[in-house]
Amino acid sequence: MSRKQQILEHFAGKELVGLDDQMRQLRSLLERTILDKESNSMLLLGPHGCGKSLLVNVALREIDERLAADDENDNEETTGPRYRLLTLNGLVHPNEQTAFRDLARQLAVETSDFDGHHDAFASNADALTWLTTTLRSAPTHVPLVIVLDMFESFTAHPRQTLLYTLFDAVQSQQMPMAMIGMSTRLDVVSALEKRVRSRFSHRVLVVPPLDLADFTSAVTHPFRTDPITKSPDFQAIIQHVHGTTASLPDMHAILFPAVAALGPKPTAKLDLARVQSGYAAWCAVHAPSTAHWTFLHLALLGAVRVLGKSGHAAVTFEMVYDAYKDWARKQPLAAGTPVFKKLVAYKAFAELVEQGVLVAQGAKSVLREYTVIGLGVPSATVAEWARDHQASVKALMQWV
């Protein structure tokens, strides 16, 4: 296998980094369904690219390997699958009928038979009962693992009938089933209707983004001996992506042009210029919207940059506000540098944090004004905003 293929295999997502506790919990739940025929449900919650899908894939792969090893030790030959994996996506399946027809297809039930019965079904619950009854009558009766990606989209369906039907089937133990929902919304449980929530197990597994050390390790692992990993420019790219989205797929998209250009030699090295080109394209897509920014947003960012140049790589809102206030008060009235009240300034500061332009460093303080933050964008970008933004003033350009 060439070096390019090895890196692309790594990008395909086969290794977990920093999610050992989450893996143990998810694998235990799936093992109880697949091996012990116990029905369960769980929600995996976390931001895009944090590893929710990877957790499911790796957990099922490890269970497959265990089953294969057990069969080999027992000198048994498996005649059929030990479980069935069914996947639905809230964006692909916008309504109940589409979702149930796809469940029928994935269960290998003749869709013509399903369509022939569908008009006679009084409800989607009847449709699921028909599907499970048909499956029970098959030669092999195996547990189901149902994965609902974009789970929050299913909560928008009228009366949440699909979710109610599936959770009710899990709770009533009609057949061994594991319901795994995946969502980026941490509050998605509150979007469930009362009757649906009453049938949910309330097992929620939060998948946090990787910290910078684990993120760097995961990114550089397939080419850790490459000189590019020691480059300050490359490390700065990793830090910016981590501070903005902390998404490994984003980092893989940035690296892909450089990986695709690798020659056949096993000693071929990544070209930093190609990585920077991919990074520039990524920044163009993920650049924060500055159209609604005011002078206050720019002044606060300018204060963070000025403090950084004086040796304060991480600051608090109190430090930023004091620096901005001291500077603004020293300017003449005609300079257009008003001193806004602290509550107004904090609102603008919080908007910058929400956009990822400012990033919290370490644990959050109980008093939000004292949470330590740092720049989530290169310092030079702040200078460009102060120079080019329509809300800026000459005094701010000179200060920053």
Question: What whole-number distance in Å separates Cα of residue 355 and Cα of residue 318?
Answer: 20
Which residue, 286, 321, 337, sits at the end of a domain?
A: 286
Neighbours of 370 (CB within 10 A): 12
250 and 351 in a single domain? The answer is no
Predicted pLDDT of residue 124: 66
**Higher local confidence (pLDDT), 196 or 371:** 196
Give me the domain span that covers residue 30.
19-206
> What are the residues whose beta carbons fall under 8 Å from the beta carbon of 63, sequence distance 6 or more?
27, 30, 31, 34, 35
Question: What whole-number distance in Å separates Cα of residue 254 and Cα of residue 329?
Answer: 43
199 and 121 in a single domain? The answer is yes
Helix (H) or strand (E) holding 348: helix 342-354
Q: 213-268: per-residue pLDDT in tens?
A: 888 988 888 887 788 888 999 998 998 888 778 888 899 999 999 988 887 777 77
Is residue 27 a part of any domain in this protein?
yes
Q: Which two tokens stand for residue 369?
A: 């004004």
Q: Which two tokens stand for residue 221?
A: 């692992």
Question: What whole-number distance in Å separates Cα of residue 145 and Cα of residue 177?
Answer: 6
Q: What's the number of domains the chain is made of?
A: 3
276 and 310 in a single domain? The answer is no
Is residue 5 a part of any domain in this protein?
no
Give the amino acid at 220.
Answer: T
358 and 251 in a single domain? The answer is no
CB burial of 340-363 (b: ≥16 within 10 Å; e: otherwise) equals: beeeebbebbebbbebbbbbbbee
Predicted pLDDT of residue 9: 76
300 and 367 in a single domain? The answer is yes
Residues 175, 23: contact at Cβ < 8 Å? no
335 and 242 in a single domain? The answer is no
64 and 191 in a single domain? The answer is yes
Is residue 169 a part of any domain in this protein?
yes
Predicted pLDDT of residue 366: 47
Question: Under DSSP, is residue 146 helix (H, G, I), strand (E, B) or coil?
Answer: strand
Is residue 58 a part of any domain in this protein?
yes
Q: 45-72: per-residue pLDDT in tens?
A: 988 888 899 999 999 999 999 888 887 7
Three-state DSSP string of 203-261 = CEEECCCCCHHHHHHHHHHHHCCCHHHHCHHHHHHHHHHHHHCCCHHHHHHHHHHHHHC
Which residue, 155, 178, 206, sits at the end of a domain?
A: 206
pTM (2 d.p.): 0.69
121 and 248 in a single domain? The answer is no
Which residue, 286, 320, 340, sits at the end of a domain?
A: 286
Give the amino acid at 250.
Answer: D
Domain CATH number, residue 134: 3.40.50.300
Question: What whole-number distance in Å separates Cα of residue 7 and Cα of residue 256?
Answer: 10
Q: What is the average per-residue pLDDT within 23-42?
A: 93
Identity of the highest mean pLDDT range in 129-143, 226-240, 277-291, 316-330 = 316-330
358 and 392 in a single domain? The answer is yes
Q: What is the average per-residue pLDDT within 131-158?
A: 79
pLDDT band at 197 (very low <50, low <70, confident <90, very high): very high
The pLDDT of residue 112 is above 60: no
CB burial of 94-104 (b: ≥16 within 10 Å; e: otherwise) equals: eebeebbbbbb
Q: 297-306: per-residue pLDDT in tens?
A: 999 999 999 9
243 and 344 in a single domain? The answer is no
pLDDT band at 183 (very low <50, low <70, confident <90, very high): very high
Domain CATH number, residue 322: 1.10.10.10
